[in-house]
Amino acid sequence: IDVNGTAGKTTPTKAGQLDGAPVLGYVFPTSLKPTDVGFGQTDGIVALALTSHPDFDDTPLWDENNDKIFDNDGLVWHPHWVVLTKDERVAGGLSVKQFKKADKTVVLPPTNPGMPMYMDSPGFPVTTMGKT
């Protein structure tokens, strides 16, 4: 993709808490089905999201900044598979589909970050160069 400015240079300012924490992202809807990327059967749009968020780390299996600490990398741009559903509360009208944590019928990929939403942390590398 081409962006204005330098790709990945802008990152959010830390808020100091998870609730209301800022997240920046590039989101790419796909024609994949949720089952294609490890989720159980569910309605929604599968997207690849590249995100940065300094207040939390949702990639517990990966050390994106290579400092041998696996829970401090939220600011580093990283990928997620997500399932999006309509949500009129947000700009753009879509948000990551959520579920009740007690719902044992939900199937998530083994690399999900443990949040009650259809999100996976596959660990793909994110590379930026100039405007791409």
pLDDT tens column, 37-93: 999 999 999 999 999 888 888 787 787 878 888 777 777 888 999 999 999 998 889
* Domain boundaries of the chain, sorted by first residue: 1-127
Segments of 3-93 assigned E as strands = 24-29, 45-52, 78-86
Cα distance between residue 3 and residue 95, in whole Å: 22
Extract the tokens encoding 88.
């009129």
Residue 61: per-residue pLDDT: 79
Cα distance between residue 120 and residue 69, in whole Å: 20
**pTM: predicted TM-score of the whole model, two decimal places:** 0.85
Q: Per residue in 82-129, pLDDT tens?
A: 999 999 998 889 999 999 999 999 999 999 988 999 999 988 888 887
Residue 2: per-residue pLDDT: 79
